[in-house]
Structure 1
Amino acid sequence: MISLLLADDQALLRKTLRMLLEADPGLTVVGEAADGGEAVDLTLEHRPDLVLMDIRMPRVDGLEATRRIKRERPDTRILVLTTFEVDEYVFAALRAGAAGFLGKGVDPAELLAAIRTVARGDALLSPSATKALIARFREAAAPGPADSARLADLTPREREVMALVGAGLSNDEISVRLGLSPHTVKTHINRTMSKLRVGDRAQLVIIAYEAGLVRPGGLRPR
């Protein structure tokens, strides 16, 4: 059973989402928050597995709420559900610790699938959010020495796996690409996250781009 908290300033949307989610026997909603501050308080109280987080909310917005939640409860997964799939929001949400980013126009079946994807530890971006993120890095300057230095403690294999994570491949796809078992791939990813002190795959994607392991449009040429 996946427990969820809903954070959105629109009461009607929260009620609609609650009905949709609670119709699924594998999901349960443990609370609703009308702003980011309330989302933080209710997360600490109810300890949900996942928070569905809006960005634009009064008083404390979803980005700041995400930062606070990840600081206090790093194991809580956060899936941003917003109307605004623009590059600054996508990048800021992932930077804050969100593991997924979807538009509010998403199909209900896609939302349910996304919740399960994020809850099991994978990162997820809608096609629009992915384009926005790539655009953000396309405009960025080339990686500098400080960015590359962050990878100094990684083994060549860990860098290779990280680059494929950054390119959007799943564990199974990486397993096939490199001829490794899924368990070995997962081990490499966990060790990489530990060395880089990040909590999930979304953070690995950002670092992979910043360090130049991945270029917008694909992997870095060898």
Structure 2
Amino acid sequence: MDQPTFNNLSESILIRLGYPDELMIYTNNLTEAEQLLQQHLPNLILIDLYLDQSKSISLIKKNNKIHPDAHIIVLLAQQETSLLFDAIQAGVQGYIFHEHTEAEILNHIKTILRGGAPIHCALAQYILSHQLNFNNTRSTTAINHPIHLTAIESDILNLILDGLSPQQIAQQIIVPLYIIEGYIKNIYQKIACL
């Protein structure tokens, strides 16, 4: 999805969610974005990781120190799971794939705004394999610290691997969806603490 198309689509979605058009600011320049973040009090930040991956990750970390309550969502390609993991480690609350439909983008943003976090099969597999790699290597480097998942968090990731959505998991174990989304958000927070 090219930037102007995504800007128009995201603007339309955010207006539907109640964000006033006059309060939305766009830039394709990360230096300018950093300046804007210092001048404004953002509620929701969308960052395209294709602009410059290392500078984008750095911007996410800086923003979390300046505006810890802002919701940060990254935009990237679906096959970029390791980059998504890096972004979660930097402190993002969610993601949107270039391949997502308008409905999927809307659902991801709604999930994030109500305190949850999105997850898909490849990310669940990546998180679980991160655990396996740690258990097999027992390295002492900071990068290889384990993610201390609870039994329910591991179960949720495995059910995502089995092809269930968070909604289906909530129905299967008979709990409200927000509880499942809360567990997923908790997994994000554990990754951010690595």
- Report the TM-score, using the length of structure 1 for normalisation: 0.59
For residues 4-39 of structure 1, the C-alpha deviation after alignment (integer angstroms, 9 at most, x for no partner) is xxxxxx652354235423541523352112223332
Residues 73 and 171 of structure 1: CA distance in aligned 2, closer, same or farther (over 3 Å): farther
1:13 counterpart (1, 5, 11): 5
1:50 is aligned to 2:44: yes
In 2: Cα distance, 1:201 partner to 1:84 partner? 22
SS in 2 for 1:12: helix
1:164 and 1:174 in contact (8 A); partners too: no
| Residue 201 in structure 1 maps to residue 152 in structure 2 | no
Aligned length: 177
Q: CA 1:87 to 1:105, structure 2 compared with 1: closer, same or farther past 3 Å?
A: closer
Equivalent residue, structure 2, for 1:41: 35
Gaps of 5+ in 2: none
Match of 1:88 among 76, 82, 86: 82
CA-atom RMSD in angstroms: 4.1
Q: Which runs of 5+ in 1 are unaligned?
A: 1-9, 152-157, 190-199, 211-222
How far the C-alpha of 1:74 sits from its partner, in A, is 1.5
2:24 is paired with a residue whose SS is: strand
Higher relative contact order structure (alpha carbons within 8 Å, sequence separation ≥ 6): 2
Q: Secondary structure at the match of 2:100?
A: coil
Q: Deviations over 1:102-135 (max 9, x none)?
A: 211211121112111111221113x4xx415624
Q: Distance in 1 between matches of 2:60 and 2:94?
A: 12
Report if aligned partners of 2:95, 2:108 keep a CA contact under 8 Å in 1.
no
1:32 matched to 2:26: yes
Alignment of structure 1 residues 74-113 onto 2, 5 Å: 74-83=68-77, 85-113=79-107
Bigger helix fraction: 2
The answer to which structure has the higher strand fraction is: 1
- Separation of aligned partners in 1, 2:56 and 2:153: 28
3-state SS in 2 of match to 1:94: helix
Where in structure 1 do 4 or more consecutive aligned residues deviate above 4 Å? 145-148, 164-177, 179-183
Q: Percent same amino acid at aligned positions? A: 16
Distance 1:201 1:16 in 2: 32
Task: Tell me whether 1:116 sits opposite 2:107 in the alignment.
Answer: no
C-alpha deviations, 1:146-201, integer Å up to 9, x for none?
746x85xxxxxx93454456556859957984x88999x69x96xxxxxxxxxx53
